Amino acid sequence: MSGDADSPASTSDASSRVPLPEGTIAVGIGLLVAGISSYAFFKVGQEALGKDDFKPIVALWFATFALAPGFFLPLEQEMGRALAHRRALSLGGTPVVRRIVPLGVGITVAVSATVAALGPVATREFFEGYGLVTVALIIAFVSYAPAHLARGICSGEGRFAAYGMVMGADGFVRIVGCIVLWQLDVDDVGAYAMLVALAPLTGVLIVGARGQLRTTDGPPAEWSEVTSNLGWLLIGSIMGAGLVNAGPIAIDVLANGSQRDEVTRFGNGVLLARIPLFLFQAVQAALLPRLARLAAAGDLTEFRGGFRRLMFVVLSVGAIGVGGSFAIGPDILDLLYDGGLDRRTLTMLAIGSAIYMVALATAQAVIALHGHARVALGWLAGMLTFLVTTWLSAEDLYLRVEIGLVASSLVALVIFVGSLRQLLARGATIDEGSVLEALSDRPFEA
């Protein structure tokens, strides 16, 4: 039987020789542009405004990426899964889009109205009295709705080059606009806030003008086709996105009026600690098309092997990130952002980021095995752990948040590992749609 062409070994060998699908490189380039532009935006913005005045932009940044991926990523995932399933059956996807878009509109209106109602408090407590930054937060949330929906269409229809364009154009426009404002000596905080808010629309307009968001008509889509896992995905995504952005937000809440620059400095450190997460995201984007095809064949053996290889990469990157933060983290932070954090804080942030990355990779494997509820409960437990440990663990402003980030990711990881073992022991199966949902489950932006 070992020579049977249909054996798992033969399938695995054949799949390993499949070249990278069209668009994979484009996705990687888009992610690279998005990641580099994030670090550059923080650098140029602080040069233009100074650390104190850049603090509202830091708060806006992390609030935006706690809200937008949290609420819209599940719609992107369900859009991609449902469209991929229909594409495999040669069925048109327009009915799926017509089902999901109104959900996006409803979420956008509800969350935007809530933020607007809390606007006076947000302006006073988070944005240093800049009402325009609160307005920018609402606009940013609205802007990311079509961006995530467009990404869902692109992934579900196999248009990965367009997917990369949506991500890359966002970062490119943001940093170019920031440099232009800086060179024009613009020091108005609201102008930089609006860059964060409006940049996501650029990629959507480009791919839309190219006709890359078009779908074909097909049989009606029932609600069960597009919302089978939406509730669990929403809970998991909101908690996961909140957790990865919780550090700077917590510092903002806990800091007193004389510690404005502490928020900016901590935000810089969080960005530095996220470099391994950014690399992890790029690796996954390259794997997504191939693994989705393998899943369509129901090859659980290849899935196990691919997951083991991915975990080796994740653990290696995480270890390098922690070691690098301990050895040269303060020097790099001083070079990029004029320092401000000690070796302990940078190392703790790197440990928290590494554990989160391993937890995220494990959670994606659980989703691929249809364990959506388990992932939602794991991220929820992580968020509750963060709140409790940050409240009770220490008096030092930075240390209490550092402990919270490490402990929360560790709790989530333990839950995900236990869930993965149980699902594999029960012989859980995978399919193309579940893998697309899993590998697009990235509740953070680079």
What pLDDT digit, counting tens, does each position of 384-419 carry?
A: 999 999 999 888 989 999 999 999 999 999 999 999
Same structural domain, 67 and 103: yes
State the pLDDT at residue 1.
38
In this prediction, residue 12 carries a pLDDT of 41
The pLDDT of residue 35? 83
8 Å CB contact between 359 and 374: no
Please tell me whether residues 197 and 254 are part of one structural domain: no
166/244 same-domain check: no
Mean pLDDT of 62-66: 94
Cα–Cα distance for residue pair 174/195, rounded to 1 Å:
6
Residue 271 within a domain = yes
Are 181 and 295 in the same domain?
no
Cα–Cα dist 39/253, whole Å: 23
With beta carbons less than 8 A apart as the criterion, state whether 294 and 309 touch.
Answer: no
Q: What is the pLDDT of residues 253-305, one digit of tens each?
A: 888 766 767 889 999 999 999 888 877 776 665 565 556 555 656 666 776 77
Query: In terms of residue numbers, what domain contains 253?
Result: 229-446
Residues 262 and 403 in one domain: yes
Say which amino acid occupies 249.
I
Average pLDDT in the 47-72 region? Answer: 93
Task: Give me the amino acid identity at 18.
Answer: V
- Tell me the longest C-alpha to C-alpha distance in the chain: 73
| 19 Cβ contact partners less than 8 Å away, ≥ 6 residues apart | none
Q: Which of 209, 228, 247 is the last residue of a domain?
A: 228
Q: What per-residue string of b and e applies to 128-153 under the rule 16 or more CB within 10 Å gives b?
A: bebebbbbbbbbbbbbbbbbbbbbbb
Q: Tell me the angle at which helices 24-88 and 275-296 cross, rounded to the nearest 10 degrees.
A: 40
Task: Give me the number of domains the chain comprises.
Answer: 2
Residues counted in the chain: 446
Q: How far apart are CA 100 and CA 227, in angstroms?
A: 9
- In this model, does residue 20 exceed pLDDT 70? no
Q: Are residues 164 and 307 in the same domain?
A: no
Is 191 inside a domain boundary?
yes
d(CA 288, CA 69): 19
- Is the pLDDT at 19 greater than 50? The verdict is no
Show which of 204, 228, 252 is a domain's final residue. Answer: 228
CA–CA dist 204, 196 (Å, integer): 15
- Among 289, 38, 75, smallest CA distance to 174 is for 38
- CA distance to 242, 269, 351, 379, per residue, from 238 (Å): 6, 23, 22, 9
Backbone angles phi, psi at 217, to 5 degrees: -70, 155
Q: Do residue 67 and residue 204 come from a single domain?
A: yes
- Does residue 199 sit in the same domain as residue 71? yes
> Does residue 17 belong to any structural domain of this protein?
no
Domain assignment present for 2 = no
CA distance 385 to 408: 5
Is residue 11 one of the residues assigned to a domain? Answer: no
User: Is residue 6 assigned to a domain?
Assistant: no
pLDDT of the residue at 410: 97
Q: From the CB of residue 36, how many other CB atoms can be counted at a distance below 10 Å?
A: 16
Handedness of CA 149, 154, 160, 161 (dihedral sign): negative
Minimal CA–CA distance to 338: which of 41, 37, 36, 50? 50
Q: Quick check: 62 pLDDT over 90? A: yes
For the whole model, what pTM was predicted? 0.86
Residue 378: inside a domain, yes or no? yes
154 and 54 within one domain: yes
**Cβ–Cβ under 8 Å, residues 135 and 116:** no
178 found inside a domain: yes
List the structure tokens of 388.
């409790």
Give whole-number Cα distances, 215 to 95, 96, 143, 206, 443, in Å. 9, 9, 21, 16, 26
Of 228, 247, 263, which residue sits at a domain end?
228
Q: Give yes or no: residues 154 and 279 share one domain.
A: no
Mark whether 220 and 294 lie in a shared domain.
no
| Residues 214, 251 within the same domain | no
Cβ contact 311:273 at 8 Å: no
